[in-house]
Chain A
Amino acid sequence: MPRVLRRAALGLAIAAALAFPFVMGAEGDAYYVSFASRILVYALAATSLNLILGYGGMISFGHAAFVGTGAYVSSILLAEGIASAWIGWPAAIAASALAALAIGAVSLRTRGAYFIMITLAFAQMMYFLVNSMKAYGGDEGLTLPARARVGLGIDLDDAQTFYYVALAALAAALVGLHRLSHSRFGRVIQAIRENEVRAEAIGFPVYRYKLVCFVIAGAAAGLAGALLASHGKYVNPSVLHWTQSGTLMVMAILGGVGCLWGGALGALALLGLEDLIANHRIAWVAALLPNYQQHASLGVGLTLLAVVLFAPQGIAGLLARRGSRVHDRGSR
């Protein structure tokens, strides 16, 4: 897309995101404000994964571990009566960053498929550990008394307010990712993705750069987890299940890995598609398959397959196809 068009599209997206709750509020449709908040939170999680996946070229199959850590730490604090988001969310971020530091320190010594699998293994360990925390619900999960409290006149229990808080978090993450990718640190990370041996030979401490990148992504995922737990007022071990890592990966790839908007576009597309199939009956499809709405994931799966085969660079790649540059180079 030309520069002017890109600016216009960005402005339009921001305006639409800001106006959404008002439009929906006028329609009296509270469900969709809450649903949009969920998309925003997942967009944040997928964006954080995109940092390591797309920019760092580290194919982590255990990102749910960090989302789950954030969700559980903030929930446990809430359950113990510490309701302030000013304590709960930083604690969630710190815990997830710490988990990313520990997991990354071990995992980043391996390469390729082994890295994929060892990150997966660590996420599974945390999944089983959380499953056994009987004091905090075990496999049945933990229902929260309320959403976290922010103070300052901000009431998270209000659907619109929560939407704007989630939007602010996503916007901060996107701005952060944009700044990071154009900073010296971001350039080095992308150089390592392109050619690790060369980056090493130039003299960059590759392992340390990758680890820092991994920890930043983990911290952002922790915030997404805290928001996710607050949003549903409920958390259970399935936030750490490997299929959750897979879903986040699907979002990032679907949107476009290594592209600023990849995570957000992917979350919007995947969750939007699920909702579209499940809640909006399309007459001609129903004529062919009467019960098709009960099988939403069939449609989602087929769409994903079509994306892999026909749009290898995701939605962002499709949008940028006519433009001067394509961000995504894929990673291997």
Chain B
Amino acid sequence: MSGILILEQTLNGLQFGLMLFLLAAGLTLVFGIMDMINLAHGSLYMLGAFLAATFVSLTGSFALGVLIAVPATAALGMLLEVSLLRRLYARDHLSQVLATFALILVLNEAVRIVWGTDLPLAAPAALSGPVEIFPGMLYSSYRLVIIAVGAAAAGLLYFGVAKTRVGMRVRAGASNREMALAMGADIPRLFTIVFGIAAGLCAVAGALLGPILAVQVGMGENILIVAFVVIVIGGIGSVRGALVGSLIVGMVDTIGRAFLPIAFGAFLPPQLASAAGPAAASVLVYLLMAVILYVRPQGLFPARG
């Protein structure tokens, strides 16, 4: 186990964590402010990735394609909020689960009808090779760009939530909706804006992860659950919690996948270790969440005091 391998996996963990944050931030705001369980959040991530793949191949430029896909997904998200999801805020969690589960089915099939089951999306040619971070350490330049973009988006979001007027209303809405309403915040419009931003962040994550994972129908379902784990660990409604949760989950998952099989191999027979290692790594994130919830039933940073 060399230092370079550890550093490489740490960077991978950071990259995965930042992408998770882009999904989790929107999810936690929607969940926290609107008290809305949106299972279709992963579908917006999928839509963003498909739109990005389409626009990248249309324009011939990765950056331009992504830049068009993000506002397009945000617009679709706002349309969805105004036309459908808005009616669900006042309903119980069960109705929200049923409706957004139905929405997953509808959006999956809609994407299949429009685009087929998958689309190719490659990283831009200029970023396809590795770079030497320091002598002897090669790392994918595309992943470095993802880390930079993810960090920038996280910073921008933090600034937006912590320092701007809209952000102040968002925080007010998350900590006490009735009071925010009574103080004159235009909650319906705020909800639409928040939903649009959340959808846009989904598109950023979908477009950037597309070349690493795959742009295909159903890509949103598994990452959605991990994003839920993140916001529950962090505390529902808290953007800071989502950031901390994302980084914890991203690191734990990546490091676990890389090193648990090796660690198991040290004291288990090889064929047992090769089966138990990956399983333990997959379970690790959920185990972490169960332990955290057992100790702190409201997550690490509860938004409601």
Find chain A residues with CB under 8 A from B98 CB: 249-250, 253-254, 304, 307-308
By the criterion of a CB under 8 Å from any partner CB, how many residues of chain A are at the interface? 48
Give B92's nearest chain A residue, CB to CB: A332
Q: Interface on chain B toward A: helix, strand, loop, or mixed SS?
A: helix
B294 within 8 A of A: yes
B131 in contact (CB, < 8 A)? no
Shortest B90–chain A CB gap in Å is 11
| A132 lies within 8 A of B279 (CB) | yes
Whether the Cβ atoms of B279 and A253 lie closer than 8 Å is: no
Check if B283 sits within 8 Å of A125, measured CB to CB: yes
Instruction: Please determine whether A308 and B102 come into contact, CB atoms closer than 8 angstroms.
Output: yes
The reply to whether B290 and A301 form a contact with Cβ atoms under 8 Å apart is: no
Judged by DSSP, the binding face of A is: helix
Size of B's binding interface in residues, CB under 8 A:
46
Most chain-B Cβ atoms within 10 A of its Cβ — which of A116, A121, A253?
A121
Taking the closest CB of chain A, its distance from the CB of B298, in whole angstroms, is: 7
Q: Are B105 and A113 in contact (CB under 8 A)?
A: no
Is A301 within 8 A of B94, CB to CB? Answer: no
Q: Do B279 and A120 touch (CB < 8 A)? A: no
B156 within 8 A of A: no
Cβ of A201 under 8 Å from chain B: no
Q: Please determine whether B229 and A298 come into contact, CB atoms closer than 8 angstroms.
A: no
Q: Does B37 lie at the interface of the complex (its beta carbon under 8 Å from any beta carbon of A)?
A: yes
B290 and A106 within 8 A (CB):
yes
A114: chain B residues within 8 A (beta carbon): 232, 236, 293, 297-299
A-B contacts, CB under 8 A, total:
136
Complex contact B94–A257 (CB within 8 A): yes
* B105 close to A297 (CB less than 8 A): yes
User: Which residues 96-118 of B have a CB within 8 angstroms of A?
Assistant: 97-99, 101-106, 108-110, 112-113
B81 in contact (CB, < 8 A): no
B179 on the A face (CB < 8 A): no
Residues on A with beta carbons closer than 8 Å to the beta carbon of B39: 246
Shortest distance from the beta carbon of A286 to any chain B beta carbon, whole Å: 15
Q: Does any Cβ of B come within 8 Å of A137's Cβ?
A: no
Give chain A residues whose Cβ lies under 8 Å from the Cβ of B221.
Answer: 242-243
Q: List, in ascending order, chain B residues with CB within 8 A of A331's CB.
A: 92, 94
Nearest-CB distance from A251 to chain B (Å)?
10
Q: How distant is the Cα of A320 from the Cα of B92 in the complex, in angstroms?
A: 20
- Residues of chain B lying within 8 A (CB to CB) of residue A250: 98, 101-102
B237 closest partner in A (C-beta): A113
Are A131 and B95 in contact (CB-based, < 8 A)? no
Assess the B105–A125 pair: CB atoms within 8 A: no
B290 touches A122 (CB 8 A): yes
Q: Which residues of B approach A to under 8 Å, CB–CB?
A: 31, 37, 39, 84, 87-88, 91-95, 97-99, 101-106, 108-110, 112-113, 221, 225, 228-229, 232, 236, 275-276, 278-279, 282-283, 286-287, 289-290, 293-294, 297-299
* 8 A/B residue pairs, CB under 8 Å, sorted by A: A59-B97, A118-B293, A120-B225, A128-B286, A129-B279, A246-B39, A301-B102, A309-B99
Q: Which 9 A-B pairs have the closest CB atoms?
A: A132-B279, A301-B105, A304-B102, A301-B106, A298-B109, A128-B282, A121-B286, A308-B99, A297-B105
